[in-house]
Structure 1
């Protein structure tokens, strides 16, 4: 196994989801590169075609899009979380969304095409990434259901319960757009909680 501590962290996390053989670990590590991004730097711009799967090692990432010139946050990623533009990756079409880090971050990049080719020889890697994609899909559905069925205050409370570190790391502007409310509404909700 690679002596790189960031890759060790990633492989340990993956191994909790799907046991990996030494051969699969070595094959996967051969594709991984570790990249540093500075606060507010984009990993992938709007209009780019996603060809890479990213995992947060440290820092916070987000996926956002522009609606009437205003940034709307769709997703936050914390350490040990996947961050990709799946609709772009799987259709190989330009994305209407961007990936950005919100603080200095360390990210593992895995090029998708070589990874997909590994699936033929390393079935546990295919199972691992299927499970990771399923988890991300379920999280997306939960977020949509929260917007459909919960009030703004309930969404905020649920977010704080599930991700308490969020409020300390992410601007209220981004939290409000993630919740589907204005920053004024979020301030009002937070004021009621005090």
Structure 2
């Protein structure tokens, strides 16, 4: 699959089959991620792979509790309260794998570099016939000391991009896109 096809076919998948993801596929995704550009080629990333439905369901319960606790400080979460309170809602959508792209340093450029690595990973997954979704709802919990301890993430690392990976159950709808807002500055007018 060429890169433009992968860009246009990538979707946020929120329904997964219970088919496992092969270790070779995970290795392929990580290999694509590490080829992302990074400032001064520092490559300030580390990848934590969490597998298993039971493990991810337990993580989901903790992530929902952390978000419910943060709702007082974040009014934008108010509309999510009933979903977060539901025992049947799984933050990780029953995906078999969670790959957490972590910054190994705390500087802002490392965070951007990890986002670039995450995009490479998601496009590679699309090319491999796998679905992905960046799970922003898990970030509050992942950045707690307890979550880091539970998952073996060093205290100085920052979880940036929690990406679920698996085989999509069904298809995801084509999202709409606005026309690009393009503004040119300093281009000479040609006659």
TM-score normalised according to structure 2 size: 0.29
TM-score normalised according to structure 1 size: 0.29
Whose relative contact order is higher, 1 or 2, with alpha carbons under 8 Å and at least 6 apart?
2
Q: Which has the higher strand share?
A: 1
